[in-house]
């Protein structure tokens, strides 16, 4: 049996739609029937439903053989896992957002500390990073920070809070990842799943 860690929330809905598009309805049906369960078994695959940031942890520790998470999470965590393939959902991008354009943004609020530091290092500007887990838009709205670094899909939340994208940065999407050991010990099962995900359905 393969164990796969999945992120709860929007990404799970996108994954269910992806499974349907590949005619893997036995998997999509099992996941759609979930109410409060954290473990779902379908016979050949056991799904663990966890927080998005925890998916790579479960995979690295070997509790899950596979996982689906965003490339933003992988960038921040730098886990010792295999990045197997891009998946066609979860599309968004990193963006630096502020009330108005400035020559510099000395203080930036974000959940994405590593990406933010790397960006400012690349443009050779000093920055103080304020780490926030919640709605980072507030930090720029009340002038606690000059800007925020966040992931943006439609930009609606930014506009509703009086912010605008100043710099559009790296694209983000969902990724299939695997545990290093499981990739070899369960290679046949993992390759079967990869082939199912790559299959073109007429």
Q: What is the pLDDT along the chain (202 residues), one digit of tens a residue?
A: 999 999 988 899 999 999 999 999 999 999 998 878 899 998 889 999 999 999 999 999 999 999 999 999 999 999 999 999 999 999 999 999 999 999 999 999 999 999 999 999 999 999 999 999 988 999 999 999 999 999 999 999 999 999 999 999 999 999 999 999 999 999 999 999 999 999 877 6
- Regarding whether 177 and 157 lie in a shared domain, the answer is no
Q: Domain of residue 36: give its range.
A: 2-90+173-198
Q: Are residues 70 and 113 in the same domain?
A: no
pLDDT reported for residue 200: 75
CATH number at residue 18: 3.40.190.10
DSSP state of 85: E
Residues 19 and 85 in one domain: yes
133 and 148 co-located in one domain: yes
Domain tally, the chain:
2
Query: Which 3 state secondary structure label does DSSP give 84?
Result: strand
Same domain? 102 vs 70: no
């Amino acid at each position: 049996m393969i164990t796969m860690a999945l992120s709860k929330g929007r990404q799970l809905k996108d994954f269910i739609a992806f499974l349907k598009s590949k005619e893997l309805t036995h998997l999509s049906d099992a996941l759609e029937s979930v109410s409060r369960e954290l473990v779902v078994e379908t016979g050949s695959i056991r799904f663990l439903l966890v927080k998005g940031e925890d998916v790579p942890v479960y995979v690295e520790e070997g509790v899950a053989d596979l996982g689906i998470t965003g490339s933003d999470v992988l960038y921040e965590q730098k886990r010792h896992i295999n990045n197997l393939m891009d998946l066609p959902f979860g599309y968004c991008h990193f963006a630096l957002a502020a009330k108005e354009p400035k020559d510099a943004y000395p203080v930036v609020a974000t959940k994405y500390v590593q990406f933010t530091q790397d960006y400012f290092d690349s443009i050779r500007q000093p920055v103080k990073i304020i780490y926030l887990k919640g709605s980072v838009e507030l930090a720029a709205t009340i002038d606690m920070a000059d800007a925020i670094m966040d992931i943006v899909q439609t930009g609606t939340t930014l506009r509703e809070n009086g912010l605008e994208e100043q710099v559009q940065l790296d694209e983000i999407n969902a990724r299939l990842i695997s545990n290093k050991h499981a990739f070899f010990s369960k290679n046949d099962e993992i390759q079967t799943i990869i082939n199912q995900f790559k299959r073109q359905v007429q």
